[in-house]
Amino acid sequence: MSRISLNIIISLLLGTVSLSLIFISKDYPGTSGNFPITMLIFIVLLSIAQIAISIYRFKTLNQKQFEINHISLIIFCLSFLTVYLMQFLNFFGAFLIFFLSVIYFYKIRNLKYYLFGTLILFLAIFVIFQFGLNVSLLNREFLG
Amino acid sequence: MQSLEVLSNLFTYSNILSVVFGVVIGLLIGMLPGLTANLGVALLLPVTYGLEPTSALLLLVSVYTSAIYGGSFPAILINAPGTSASAATALDGYVLTKQGKFNTAIRVSTFASVFGGMISGFALLFIAPPLSLISLKFGPAQYFMLAVFGLTIIGTLSSGNFVKGLIAGTVGLFLSTIGSDLDSGYPRFTFGFSGLLSGINFVPAVIGLFSMSQALILSEDPLKTIQLNKFKADTWKFLPKFFEIQKVFLNCCVSSIVGVLVGILPGAGGDIASWVSYNEAKRFSKNKSEFGQGSLKGIAASECANNAVTGSALIPLLTLGIPGSTTAAILLGALLIHGLLPGRELFTTNGNITYSVIWGFIFANIFMGFVGLSVAKYFGKIAKIPNYFLAPAIIILSVVGSYAIGNNVQDVYTMVIFGLLGYLMRKLNYPPAPLILGLILGPIAETGFRQSQILAKDSVVVYILNNSISLVLFVLTIVSILSAVYFELTKKTNYEKDIS
């Protein structure tokens, strides 16, 4: 998809979501809806301006395809999954899986890195947070 | 007497450790191409929760100033500026490296950075206290107009994408309204999620937008390594020479003034200062042709100006609550976390903390020079840290950091979601800084507006503009918007950059 087309789609999406939120906030009691409604109206107007700019530039400028790197998305999904797993496997369990999966997706096949990288990283984090900041990585959600 | 109090408050074990740690971490972050001062300050924000306000702020300002200085190392040695503020340094610095004169370039950049940083520290010390007197005259109407003016900074923080910057800022303002209404207690936009009742905590949002998103960007090219064979560590010469200092001294004086003035302007950061200063140095030079060919004056102008911004960007922040740069916007959050409100109180009731931080900032700049020159010869090893190690390390630190804020997983989810949002925003050229500014200034703007509504007898607009400070702020707001629109219209190239 071209960058300009994506700009238009995102602006349309933002405008539509903002309009629907305006209808929701109309029912808020007293003055509690005034400020958000004003902001939402601004978002709608700015989205229209962005669409106009994109259409205006569409004719004069060359387009370039918009691409999102798939590894970055995989890393994001892994991060999300890790935060979820953290509640069951504790911090170290969840992040061991995270770290090993990440370097696998990075196509690192060096065993030395798997071993020493994991050890150094975990030791550093444990020392900084456990002793430096008094954040117990062995408690609550981190315990599982 | 007060000076003695400040000094005794400053030279405590924890404060000294904060400066040392902040300088070292800031230098490492600045030296690594791809990591920025914003990332460093955002990542260390939760670390400051357990610290005293003085130590916490010292840690963050030390990271800020030394990260900007650290950016000069990759700019000079490998032609890859560590931060955008060091882009102008690369023009002459890398030429000198190719000529084998990297020693000279690093020594001059160190002297200029320390000089600029110290001048900005003194500017902060002498300009901020009298300026803060203005804040005494502020009521709800003035605070509302101040927040509106602060938001027009969006135009300058948006690097050319004015409309996208405004959209991001307005979305930030809207997001700040999520949660229980402070007046009525009515839940706004929570959609039944009890976790949203207390609103969006901006610290995990900052960590997500600046740190997690950067880790996702680094993940795009995990195997990227830097080739370094231009210099050898054993040829390193440590201290700056007298003739080098003499050659650039006048240049440093002018550039630090430029940097201080640019830094005071809300939204104008180190990159603008370094380019303005570089161009001015070139314009007034007798030998213009040396610029771009390895000019020491060029390096000094750029480095002195970008470090002169670090202190002066804190002037509008500490006095009026308007951040002078993106990093200053994150620092505004740090102030609020530690219960410190920008304004006159910072220089009276909390004067001990504020003056200690300012003096600590000046000492941090001196210390930064020594550490910088000491670790310079290890730059090769530092810069070789691969992305496949940095990215997961940043993600893990971001997760633990956001958990440490309130010991709850919801903050971690907020951070991860804002991380993806920040990544997509960067890919689509939506600047993330205005969104954070909106999140921070939103409650101030809304409170000011609603209090004005209550106090206004007739029209709220008339009430807000019926005083000289609000009128001045209104005029400044209009000027700020018009100048941003002017730059948007005259700099079509920015949009071309967007789609190419």
Q: What are the tens digits of pLDDT across the range A55-93?
A: 877 665 556 666 778 888 888 999 889 888 887 877 777
Q: Do A79 and B395 touch (CB under 8 A)?
A: yes
For residue B160, what pLDDT band results from cuts at 50, 70 and 90?
Answer: low
User: Per-residue pLDDT tens for A112-121?
Assistant: 777 777 787 7
User: Per-residue pLDDT tens for B83-93?
Assistant: 667 777 888 88
Of A36, A50, A76, nearest to B177 by CB-CB distance is A36
Tell me which chain A residues have a C-beta less than 8 angstroms from the C-beta of B164.
50
Question: Is the Cβ of A56 closer than 8 Å to some Cβ of chain B?
Answer: no
Structure tokens at B134: 């203005």
Q: CA of A82, closest CA in chain B: separation in Å?
A: 10
Length of chain B: 500
Question: Is the Cβ of A88 closer than 8 Å to some Cβ of chain B?
Answer: no
Amino acid at position A7, single letter = N
- Phi first, then psi: give them for residue B10, nearest 5 degrees: -75, -45
Average confidence score pLDDT of chain A: 79
User: Per-residue pLDDT tens for A90-124?
Assistant: 777 787 888 888 888 877 777 777 777 778 777 77
- Which residues 6+ apart lie within 8 Å of B349 measured at CB? none
Tell me which chain A residues have a C-beta less than 8 angstroms from the C-beta of B154.
none
Mean pLDDT score, B324-330: 78
Q: Do A108 and B50 touch (CB under 8 A)?
A: no
Q: How far apart are CA B51 and CA B49, in angstroms?
A: 6
User: Per-residue pLDDT tens for B453-468?
Assistant: 787 777 777 777 778 8
For residue A144, what pLDDT band results from cuts at 50, 70 and 90?
Answer: very low
Q: CA of A39, closest CA in chain B: separation in Å?
A: 6
A135, closest residue in chain B (CA to CA): B404
Tell me which chain A residues have a C-beta less than 8 angstroms from the C-beta of B428.
3, 6-7, 10, 66
Per the model's pLDDT, the better-predicted residue between B476 and B361 turns out to be: B361
Average confidence score pLDDT of chain B: 81
User: Per-residue pLDDT tens for B184-241?
Assistant: 888 898 888 887 888 888 888 888 888 888 888 888 877 766 555 555 554 566 677 7
pLDDT at site B476: 82
pLDDT over threshold 50, residue A6: yes
Quick one: which of B325, B300, B382, B362 has its CA closest to B120?
Answer: B362
Q: How far apart are CA A96 and CA A93, in angstroms?
A: 5
Tell me which chain A residues have a C-beta less than 8 angstroms from the C-beta of B47.
128, 132-133
For residue B261, what pLDDT band results from cuts at 50, 70 and 90?
Answer: confident
Per the model's pLDDT, the better-predicted residue between B81 and A40 turns out to be: A40
- Which residues 6+ apart lie within 8 Å of B96 measured at CB? B76, B102, B104, B105, B294, B299
| % of chain B residues with pLDDT over 90 | 13
Q: How far apart are CA B276 and CA A134, in angstroms?
A: 45
For residue B147, what pLDDT band results from cuts at 50, 70 and 90?
Answer: confident
pLDDT at site A44: 94
ipTM of the complex as predicted: 0.87
Pairs across A and B, CB distance < 8 A: 166
Q: Do B215 and A75 touch (CB under 8 A)?
A: yes
Read off the pTM: 0.79
Report the range of poorest mean pLDDT among A17-21, B8-12, B268-272, B278-282.
B268-272
For residue B23, what pLDDT band results from cuts at 50, 70 and 90?
Answer: very high
For residue B418, what pLDDT band results from cuts at 50, 70 and 90?
Answer: very high
29-58 in chain B: CB under 8 A from chain A: 47, 49-50
Question: Is the Cβ of A75 closer than 8 Å to some Cβ of chain B?
Answer: yes
Amino acid at position B282, single letter = K
Q: How far apart are CA B475 and CA B479, in angstroms?
A: 6
Q: CA of B26, closest CA in chain A: separation in Å?
A: 16
pLDDT at site B19: 92
Mutate to test the interface with A, among B52, B161, B216 (most CBs of A within 10 A): B216
A44, closest residue in chain B (CA to CA): B167
Quick one: which of B274, B329, B241, B299 has its CA closest to B90?
Answer: B299
Tell me which chain B residues have a C-beta less than 8 angstroms from the C-beta of A131.
none
User: Per-residue pLDDT tens for B279-302?
Assistant: 888 887 877 778 888 888 889 998
pLDDT over threshold 90, residue B115: yes
Of A29, A132, A142, nearest to B184 by CB-CB distance is A29
Tell me which chain A residues have a C-beta less than 8 angstroms from the C-beta of B181.
28, 32
For residue B362, what pLDDT band results from cuts at 50, 70 and 90?
Answer: very high
pLDDT at site B458: 73
pLDDT over threshold 80, residue B323: no
Question: Is the Cβ of A90 closer than 8 Å to some Cβ of chain B?
Answer: no
User: Per-residue pLDDT tens for B56-112?
Assistant: 999 999 999 998 888 888 888 777 666 667 777 888 888 888 787 788 888 899 999
pLDDT over threshold 70, residue B489: no
Question: Is the Cβ of A66 closer than 8 Å to some Cβ of chain B?
Answer: yes
101-130 in chain A: CB under 8 A from chain B: 102-103, 106-108, 117, 121, 125, 128-129
Question: Is the Cβ of A24 closer than 8 Å to some Cβ of chain B?
Answer: yes
pLDDT at site A135: 62
Structure tokens at A112: 């030395």
With H, G, I as helix, E, B as strand and everything else as coil, classify residue B238: coil
Q: Do B403 and A87 touch (CB under 8 A)?
A: no
For residue B380, what pLDDT band results from cuts at 50, 70 and 90?
Answer: low
Mean pLDDT score, B264-280: 75
- Which residues 6+ apart lie within 8 Å of B363 measured at CB? B10, B19
pLDDT over threshold 70, residue A140: no
CA distances from A118 to A98, A104, B251, B435 (A): 10, 13, 48, 35
Report the range of poorest mean pLDDT among A23-32, B144-153, B210-219, B363-372.
B144-153
Q: Do A76 and B222 touch (CB under 8 A)?
A: no
Structure tokens at B179: 């949660």
Tell me which chain B residues have a C-beta less than 8 angstroms from the C-beta of A121.
392-393, 396
